[in-house]
Amino acid sequence: MRKITRREAIAASIGSLMARPLFAGDPAGPLAADTTAERIALSGKAPLLKRSFRPPNFETPLADLRRPFTANEAFFVRYHLPVIPQIDSRTWRLRVNGPALRQTLDLSLDDLERQFERVSVAAVNQCSGNRRGLFSPRVPGVQWTNGAMGHALWTGVRLRDVLAKAKLNADALEIAFSGADSPVLPSTPRFAKSLPLDKALDENTLIAFEMNGRPLPHWNGAPARLVVPGWTATYWMKHLSEISALSTAFDGFWMKSAYRVPAGAFPGASFPSQAATDTVPITEILVSSLVTSHVSGERLARGRRVVLTGWAWDGGKGIGAVDVSLDGGQSWRAAQLGNDLGRFAWRGFEFPLDTSRAGAINAQIRAASRDGSKQPAALTPNPSGYHHNRIQSLSLEVA
């Protein structure tokens, strides 16, 4: 994390990174069309892949995931509730309260910018159910493929600085959050989440009001949202309206019943106050990778230079290696890694292919974190289709 001293410099830097390819070998043309969903342009957005209309859930096309920072206009959209208000940033207020605070706060956007240090962090924002549509057998839920994720530079203030101003009590256990989106029926629970105190107080957990050097887009949580680097997007509360410090475990539906995985099934940070005997809350993003330069079934011209490029990311340990196998996993060769943009950022990789002979190329791509964690060869079954991070396989044809 670094202190932001000049907003114009950040915006210029992001613009430069978004304008250039990751490696010189990146293809310039579009990828094969995604035929699994209709493309729709929401207000202020480029055409995205529609997974549901109400609530709005729209996926980033694979071609728009090629750049180091995913364009705001192409960033995926994820909601649980259908009523999404347009909020005037000039009148927006953030309420900070709760039984584990000694005083309450009522903050405007101007208050956040003037009263607290402005900081920035590059981080992957990934839906817990990214790639759910690739599970077999099928599981219920939004049938995402690879694009319920994106990478951005998030700018705002540290959540812990705001809580310090409100003076946390010694008995604080969790910090709960709610946003301005709402249901149609009163019986539908509003979307609210909580974080364990240690994650809420982490220096990288932000109340963000800028994305890639520009104000947050409406569909990505304007005027301010929570940013929880390393954890799945269910905790990244959009249209943030209230923060509550609690001395007991939050018992809302979206914590007690939703976004839970079988106990012991996955690695990752624990959330002890929300753990049950059979299930625990989903927390950290697992190590994963994605080729963005090519898709399975693509035909390659014999003798023409071809380089597989893409991204690898994890929950904050940092990417240490990306390996490629061309013999069904019997042997692996190291891909070249790109610049390290931070431990919560994704990291680029490239791997040249031999196209001197006609025939099939079957490639497998496997990322590894610096702590030794690797992508698995098989999925871990779970009822909600979370944590799809299996080794990617690509079948290409040199002709």
**pLDDT for res 251:** 96
Domain count for the chain, please give it.
2
CB atoms within 10 A of CB 44: 12
105 within 8 A of 164, measured Cβ to Cβ:
no
**pLDDT for res 110:** 98
Q: Which of 281, 315, 339 is the last residue of a domain?
A: 281
What is the mean pLDDT of the segment spanning 134-155? 96
**pLDDT for res 329:** 96
Give the structural domain span for 317: 288-398
* 313 and 379 within one domain: yes
Q: Is the pLDDT of residue 16 over 60?
A: no
CATH code for the domain in which residue 273 is found: 3.90.420.10
Q: Does the residue 26 lie in any domain?
A: no
Q: Is the pLDDT of residue 25 over 70?
A: no
* 333 and 203 within one domain: no
* 343 and 252 within one domain: no
What is the mean pLDDT of the segment spanning 342-357? 97
Return the C-alpha torsion angle 101, 253, 379, 338, nearest 10.
-40
Query: Where residue 12 falls among pLDDT bands split at 50, 70, 90?
Result: very low
The predicted model scores a pTM of 0.92
* 178 and 141 within one domain: yes
Query: Where residue 27 falls among pLDDT bands split at 50, 70, 90?
Result: very low
Q: Is the pLDDT of residue 23 over 50?
A: no
Q: Is the pLDDT of residue 15 over 60?
A: no
What is the mean pLDDT of the segment spanning 110-128? 98
Return the C-alpha torsion angle 279, 282, 285, 286, nearest 10.
10
- In a 13 Å sphere around the CA of 349, the CA atoms on its Cβ side amount to 25
**pLDDT for res 385:** 97
Q: Is the pLDDT of residue 154 over 70?
A: yes
Q: Is the pLDDT of residue 8 over 80?
A: no
Q: Does the residue 114 lie in any domain?
A: yes
Least confident segment among 7-11, 35-39, 40-44: 7-11
* 227 and 132 within one domain: yes
What average pLDDT does the chain have?
92
pLDDT in tens, 45-94: 999 999 999 999 999 999 999 999 999 999 999 999 999 999 999 999 99
Q: Does the residue 230 lie in any domain?
A: yes
Q: Does the residue 21 lie in any domain?
A: no
**pLDDT for res 30:** 44
**pLDDT for res 19:** 45
Q: Does the residue 310 lie in any domain?
A: yes
* 167 and 187 within one domain: yes
Q: Does the residue 51 lie in any domain?
A: no
What does residue 14 show for φ and ψ, rounded to 5 degrees?
-65, -45
What is the mean pLDDT of the segment spanning 230-238? 98
* 242 and 167 within one domain: yes
Q: Does the residue 50 lie in any domain?
A: no
Query: Where residue 148 falls among pLDDT bands split at 50, 70, 90?
Result: very high
Q: Is the pLDDT of residue 153 over 80?
A: yes
Q: Which of 239, 261, 281 is the last residue of a domain?
A: 281
Cα 238 from Cα 343, distance rounded (Å): 23
* 326 and 275 within one domain: no
Q: Which of 264, 281, 298 is the last residue of a domain?
A: 281
Query: Where residue 35 falls among pLDDT bands split at 50, 70, 90?
Result: low
82 within 8 A of 55, measured Cβ to Cβ:
yes
* 86 and 222 within one domain: yes
Q: Does the residue 24 lie in any domain?
A: no
